[in-house]
Amino acid sequence: MLFSSLTFLFAFLPIVMAVYYLLPSKGKNLWLLAASLFFYFYGEPKYLVLMLAVITVSYIFGLLTEKAEGKKRLILLWASVLLNLSALIYFKYTDFFISVTNSVFNTEIGLLGIALPIGISFFTFQSISYNIDVYRKDVPAQKNPINLALYVSLFPQLVAGPIVRYTDIERDLRSRTHTIDGFAYGIRRFAVGLGKKVLLANSFGSFCEIFRETDEKSTLFFWIYAVAYSLQVYFDFSGYSDMAIGLGSMFGFKFPENFRHPYISKSVTEFWRRWHISLGSWFRDYVYIPMGGNRVKTPRFFFNILTVWFLTGFWHGADWTFIIWGLYFAALLLIEKSIPKKIKEKAPSAISHIYLIFAVLIGFVIFNANGVEGIANDFKGMFTSAYPLCTEATLYYLRSYAVLFIIGIIGATPAVKIAAEKLDSTKAGEKICNLAQPAVILALLVAVTAYLIDGSYNPFLYFRF
Amino acid sequence: MGKKIRNIACIIIFSAFILTLGAACILREPVEILVSERRKAQQLPEASVESVMDKSFFDGFEKYLTDQFPMRDGFRTINAAIRMKLLRQTDNSKVYLADGHISEFQSVLSENSVKNAAAKFNSIFEKYIKGKNARVYYSVVPDKNYYLAEKNGFPSIDYGRMLEIYHSEIKNMEYIDIFDCLGADDYYTTDSHWKQENLGKVIDRLSKKMGFKSKPFSDYTAQKISDFEGVYAPRLALGKMSDEIIALKSPVTDGAKVFNLETNKTMQGVYDMSKLSGYDKYEIYLSGAAAFLTIENPLAEEKRELVVFRDSFGSSLVPLMLDGYSKITVVDIRYISPQILGEYVDFTDCDVLFIYNTLILNQSNILK
């Protein structure tokens, strides 16, 4: 089920919310678990068993690891990690490995055509992090199976993150407070996320679809497409994270932030501290630092970076494009790290920013390309004279989508947030905000409903990851 | 205190919105037809273990909720208004408004499609018409984008190139150019079709080239039939827009007998008023889409026959050609295979006209 669907907004959410607040505290987790499992069942009926298996593995191995001593702890940890990873590898990567085997050894092994369970990359990573945290004695194992099942399957962050660590919500799982302020904050975040996804990301998605379908491509069109896709993926994913954080807040949970206006960054290093923060910190804490991080000799450091970014790319999808995308960012990070700090600090801010935007646009063109051949074709369109510089169609669509691009570019910066906070900090401004905030929420809900009723383009890009 | 009230207001508005509309979705009596969109509305799917496990129930429920949503038309208008008024998008899924007309632009000329259409018509000629002493003509009806799109800055296909290809491929037929007989205002503002009452110049051109007798338009009685909301208005969804639909009547059109091969029924007169209660009022002309019709004109002064290969534009054109013929056979090869035409049509000593609009030529895979 998509958050940006009429079923979620007008059937699932009102029922879950109403019953949740009518129930006494003791019943709330059980109700949320039932709702979360139904949420998953609605999207993937046959894979509910897989979800329950992942929960069971995490629960049992968590308890066993906590009780075990010495090497046994490590063996139990590896067993739980391997079980989770084997589910991820089987469902997500089997066909990729078969394809590679066929290419390398000239074999003809048939592809299995396994459907990817929604959100598997997210909930398996959450389970792994739980078992590692228990192994490290960062947290005690969860004794209550309902609470652990709820941690793994909690519907707001189940299918597209943020990757919530067990340590982040352990206390909330035991007991949490529900406040008017928290609920209202959740509504605001949810409405903004919904608007980002439905009004902006979907519209940029339509633009990208038009670009892909048209026969009248031009160099300019390729570049505008790169901008459009970069905005689509940002509003799509950050919108989903906003909705998840908002829903969490409505139910009394505090989820970590996942995006902090990444496009205002001035380096790739900074960009990745602002983009999909929960994934970046997961790989940092569970892969990069255990490998030695940057406190190792230079060749090993290079190896660590390449490994982490290879895995980051591969996590996004079982395709060479994602691996190339990951390694592309690894290369940029290594180049940035090899430039002396003094030189980086002296670089004009505008130049640094232009470099970052350019690097990210190229990155997302790789990310969205249709295979390695697609990357070559898109680069050909962007960097050679294979296509005309501009066509009538390019100008038409640029004109037609100009306002959307302006809104999108401004919306990707913190400008609106800063302006709203500044306004709210004055007495007169506060009065305006008191009226404007509920009005904006209503306007967003009406506009989103209108788009959902009429629109057909409504995929979530991160559902496939 | 102020922020507390603001937060409470946010909660009330959000909760009221999702709860009220959610309840309305459940309590509302489902509609069977979405009138403005000319289609059946999705009904609540049947739940079974199988339909739940294969997801078809959930998919159907999603469609059901979308189709049955309260105030659906109003929300669609809001959607269009946001896109076109607020975001200043110049089209809504390729549907645009220019010079008071709604149309859907085409930006890609499919040369293969044009060649394919010509090849189909050539093969009909070779198989049935060749050597039958028939006089064979072809004409092309421009879609209204020809008069609107490029002029108003919308993407447009290269009509010159389309005709160049078509002419070079079509064999053994005489071309009748009607592009200069029409303008944007000769089409409905909300629909793709032309207005029957504005076809005077087209009929003049055809009658002169083909040599059939036609009646001055002043001799017809113009009967305003109904408000007509064409196919584009609900797609643009910018509120109510409609046209006047008119039928040009005469003793000949009233006296004609229209036989429909598919239904095996004969209708008196060329206008089918029962279609006024249907989705598309343009279907009053010759009952709309039909694979094969024969129209007998008992008032004809001479025995002369015409076979027209046509699309929906032909439905409003053919009644105006009736004065010149004792019998007109109307064939739409979107719905009947040319392979079986020999069983139903004798082309000996006939006039034959292939008249198709540019939208069909550019998408000729729908021809059988």
Angle at CA of residue B110, ends B161 and B88, nearest 5°: 95
pTM assigned to the model: 0.86
pLDDT in tens, B169-203: 999 999 999 999 999 999 999 999 999 999 999 99
Q: What is the model's pLDDT at position A458?
A: 44
Answer yes or no: are the C-beta atoms of B172 and B134 closer than 8 Å: no
Question: Which of B79, B90, B93, B235 would you mutate first to test chain A, the one with the most A CBs within 10 A?
Answer: B79
Distances (CA, A) of B351 to A171, A464, B131, B257, B309: 87, 60, 13, 20, 11
Strand order in the sheet with B257-260: B174-176, B135-141, B351-357, B305-310, B327-331, B292-296, B257-260, B265-268
- What would the 3-class secondary structure string for B238-288 be? CCCCCEEEEEEECHHHHHCEEEECCCCEEEECCECHHHHHCCCHHHHECCC
Nearest residue to B353 via CA among B163, B113, B140, B164: B140
What are the beta bridge partners of residue B354?
B138, B309
DSSP for B294-351 reads EEE-TT-SS--EEEEEE-THHHHHGGGGGGG-SEEEEE-TTTS-GGGGGGT---TT-E
Nearest chain A residue to B49, by CA: A45
Residue A454 has its nearest CB partner, among B62, B108, B237, at B237
Nearest CA in chain A to B68: A453
Per-residue pLDDT of chain A (465 residues; tens, 9 = 90+): 888 899 999 999 999 999 999 999 889 999 999 999 999 999 888 899 999 999 999 999 999 999 998 889 999 999 999 999 999 999 999 999 999 999 888 888 888 888 888 888 889 999 999 999 999 999 999 999 999 999 999 999 887 768 888 888 888 988 899 999 999 999 999 999 999 999 999 999 999 999 998 888 999 999 999 999 999 999 999 999 999 999 999 999 999 999 999 999 999 999 999 999 999 999 999 999 988 888 888 889 999 999 999 999 999 888 999 999 999 999 999 999 888 888 888 889 999 999 999 999 999 999 999 999 999 999 999 999 999 999 888 999 999 999 999 999 999 999 999 999 999 889 888 889 889 999 999 999 999 999 999 865 445 555 544
Cβ of B21 within 8 Å of Cβ of A403? The answer is no
CA distance B79 to chain A (A): 5
- Which residues of A form the catalytic set? 316
The verdict on B61 touching A (C-beta cutoff 8 Å) is yes
CB contact under 8 A, A453 and B5: no
Which residue type does B332 have?
D
- Return the pLDDT at B1: 55
**Which residue in chain A has the smallest CA separation from B9?**
A438
CB of B110 less than 8 A from some CB of A: no
pLDDT of residue A462: 53
- What pLDDT is recorded for position A294? 84
Helix (H, G, I), strand (E, B) or coil at B196: helix
Other residues' Cβ atoms within 10 Å of the Cβ of residue A99 = 15
Dist CA B230 CA B241 (whole Å): 9
Distance from CA of B281 to the nearest CA of A (A): 24
Chain segment B67-106, per-residue pLDDT in tens? 899 999 899 999 999 999 999 999 988 899 999 999 999 8
pLDDT digits (tens, 9 = 90+) for A294-316: 888 888 999 999 999 999 999 98
Sign for the CA dihedral angle at B307, B311, B313, B319 comes to: positive
**Percentage helix, strand, coil, to 5, in chain B?**
45, 20, 35
A41-50, A152-161, B126-135, B150-159: least confident range: A152-161
pLDDT above 70: percentage of residues in chain B? 100
Residues of chain B with Cβ-Cβ distance to A426 below 8 Å are none
Q: Amino acid identity, residue A166? A: Y
Q: Which of residues 193-252 of B touch A (CB under 8 A)?
A: 237
**Which chain A residues contact residue B58 at CB under 8 A?**
1, 7, 42
Instruction: Please state, in angstroms and rounded to a whole number, the distance separating the CA atoms of residues A298 and A50.
Output: 41
Out of B17, B21, B72, name the one closest to residue A442 (CB). B17
Query: Is A202:A378 a contact under the CB 8 Å cutoff?
Result: no
pLDDT of residue A239: 95
The confidence score (pLDDT) of residue A142 equals: 92
User: Cα distance from B9 to chain A (closest Cα, Å)?
Assistant: 6
> How many C-beta neighbours within 10 Å does residue A49 have?
9
Residue B100, Cβ neighbours under 10 Å: how many? 10
| pLDDT tens, position by position, B296-354 | 999 998 899 999 999 999 999 999 999 999 999 999 999 999 988 888 898 999 999 99
Backbone angles phi, psi at B268, to 5 degrees: -85, 125
CB contact under 8 A, A450 and B76: yes
Would an 8 Å CB–CB cutoff place B88 in contact with chain A? yes
Does the distance separating the beta carbons of B69 and A6 come in below 8 Å?
yes
Question: Could you say which of B21, B52, B108 has the minimum Cβ distance to residue A45?
Answer: B52
**Portion of chain B with pLDDT greater than 90, in percent:** 70
B3 to chain A, closest Cα gap in Å = 7
Instruction: Name which of B22, B72, B76 is nearest A11 (Cβ-Cβ).
Output: B22
Report how many Cβ contacts below 8 Å link chain A to chain B: 140
CA of A409, closest CA in chain B: separation in Å?
14
Nearest beta carbon to residue B65 from set A6, A188, A447: A6
